[in-house]
Amino acid sequence: MGWGVFSTFRVTKGVLFAFERHWDRLKRDAHLLRVPFPADPDWLHERLLRLIETNRCPEATLRVCIVKNSGTIFVGPGTDRKFDLVAMTTSLKKWGDSMRLGVVPNGRFAASPYSRTKVLSWAFNLNWYQEAHESGCDEVVLLNEHNEVAECTSANIFATFANEVFTPPLGSGCLPGITRDLLLEEIQVGGIAVSERKLTLADLADADEVFITSSTRDLMPVREIEGITVRRQGSACDRLKRAFREYLEKYTDSKVNTRRLQIES
């Protein structure tokens, strides 16, 4: 029935990057959608680490799904589990050095209370993504019902104007991406301000740079948006990308060291 929630992790050095933020988002989305959810983050964390070790994939992408087992007439017999945990890993994808985006009008309904949830019913996004590749694009910009920029099918979007960097607010219908949140709340680069602001296609055309973010792409520059050639004349994206990589390395190293100490003790 597609009744469940999911998240996609970046696995680095055998560490689930930003696990705490993924957990909080999964828990919030599960509560909103009335999907039963594990009570203990360690329960989930330990099982995902076991999967990483079993699959021998210290550098990978990991998808975790929490699936509701009741509430419809299509319920399997003989199960007393309130939910199923389904997780899988795959190799890191090589995305290239920049992206070409198409545009999808009315791709997000910002007024919906569910527009900001990562639900298993993902077919619309997958179809738009496939259509993008069939037309020679890498991704698409999804506009909301007000013709404002919301996000891409699996990434948030940012536009830079000199030393100011903007991303659409959650009220525009975008998901609270983990990389997006880190850029807004944690990553600091001197002289660069990152904040939320409503954006239109005209804003993207006027921007010095446009880039997208996701757990699998980090920060990825955009070179073209359906006939709009992005100027790519600033340095904010590169500077933020370096700062993000430093944050990722620091996070993963701290987790690796903590695990080593636990094993030694």
Q: How far apart are CA 35 and CA 25, in angstroms?
A: 13
183: left (phi over 0), alpha (psi -120 to 50) or beta: alpha
Classified by CATH at the fold level, domain 99-246 comes out as D-amino Acid Aminotransferase; Chain A, domain 2 (3.20.10)
**In terms of Cα–Cα distance, which of 152, 150, 153 is closest to 167?**
150
**Do the two domains 4-90 and 99-246 of this chain adopt the same fold?**
no
Reduce the DSSP state of residue 83 to 3 states and report it: strand
Q: What is the CATH number of domain 4-90?
A: 3.30.470.10
Q: Which pair of structure tokens corresponds to residue 246?
A: 């430093």
Reduce the DSSP state of residue 173 to 3 states and report it: coil
User: Bridge-partner residues for 196, per DSSP?
Assistant: 167
pTM: 0.93
Give residue limits of the domains in the chain: 4-90, 99-246
Residue 26 has pLDDT above 90, yes or no: yes
Residue 70 has pLDDT above 90, yes or no: no
Q: How far apart are CA 162 and CA 130, in angstroms?
A: 34
Strands 193-196 and 164-167: parallel
Q: What pLDDT, on the 0 to 100 scale, is given for residue 155?
A: 97
34: left (phi over 0), alpha (psi -120 to 50) or beta: left
Residue 257: band (very low, low, confident or very high) from pLDDT cuts 50, 70, 90:
confident
Q: How far apart are CA 229 and CA 206, in angstroms?
A: 10
- The pLDDT tens digits for 160-181 are 999 999 999 999 999 999 999 9
pLDDT, mean of residues 68-83 = 82
pLDDT, mean of residues 43-65 = 97
